[in-house]
A = this chain, B = another copy of it.
Amino acid sequence: MIEDKNTPRTQLSELGEFGLIEHLTQNFTISQPSTLYGIGDDAAVLDFNQKKCVLSTDLLVEGVHFDLAYVPLKHLGYKAVMVNLSDIYAMNATASQITVSIAVSNRFTLEALEELYEGIYAAAKLYNVDVIGGDTTSSTSGLIISITATGFAEEDAIVYRNGAKDGDLLVVTGDLGAAYLGLQVLEREKQVFKVNPNVQPDLDQYSYLIERQLKPEARKDMPGLLKALEVQPTSMIDISDGLSSEVIHLCTRSKVGVNLYEDKIPLDPAVISTSEEFNLNSTTVALNGGEDYELLFTIDQNDYPKIKANPNLTVIGHIVDEKSGIGLVTRANEKIELKAQGWNPIKE
Which chain A residues have a beta carbon within 8 Å of chain B's beta carbons? 11-13, 15-17, 20, 36-37, 40-48, 52-59, 61-65, 86-88, 90-91, 93, 97, 99, 101-103, 106, 132-142, 144, 146, 148-151, 155, 158, 160-162, 236-238, 253, 344-348
- Chain B residue nearest to A253 (CB atoms) is B40
How far is the CB of A1 from the nearest CB of chain B, in Å?
20
Residues of B within 8 A of A137 (CB): 59, 61, 64-65, 345-346
B141 lies within 8 A of A140 (CB):
yes
How far is the CB of A117 from the nearest CB of chain B, in Å?
15
Q: 10 extra interchain contacts, Cβ-Cβ under 8 A, other than A13-B347, A59-B146, A138-B345?
A: A42-B236, A45-B158, A48-B48, A57-B146, A59-B144, A61-B139, A61-B144, A63-B140, A64-B139, A137-B345
B142 lies within 8 A of A140 (CB):
yes
Q: What is the total number of copies of this protein in its complex?
A: 2
Show 20 residue pairs from A and B whose CB-CB distance is below 8 angstroms, ordered by the A residue. Answer: A15-B346, A16-B346, A41-B162, A42-B161, A42-B237, A42-B238, A44-B55, A45-B52, A45-B91, A47-B155, A55-B97, A55-B150, A57-B99, A59-B102, A59-B137, A61-B137, A61-B138, A63-B140, A64-B137, A138-B346
A43 lies within 8 A of B101 (CB):
no
- Chain B residue nearest to A86 (CB atoms) is B42
The 8 Å CB contact of A346, one of B20, B59, B134, B160, is: B20
B48 lies within 8 A of A53 (CB):
yes
How far is the CB of A298 from the nearest CB of chain B, in Å?
14
Known contacts A20-B346, A347-B13: A52-B47 contact under CB 8 Å: yes
A42 lies within 8 A of B55 (CB):
no
B64 lies within 8 A of A138 (CB):
yes
B148 lies within 8 A of A41 (CB):
no
A346 lies within 8 A of B144 (CB):
no
B42 lies within 8 A of A91 (CB):
yes
A103 lies within 8 A of B59 (CB):
yes
Residues of B within 8 A of A132 (CB): 55
Distance, CA A41 to CA B89, complexed state (A): 12
Distance, CA A106 to CA B48, complexed state (A): 40
Known contacts A61-B137, A138-B61, A139-B61: A13-B348 contact under CB 8 Å: yes
Distance, CA A238 to CA B40, complexed state (A): 13
Distance, CA A267 to CA B162, complexed state (A): 54
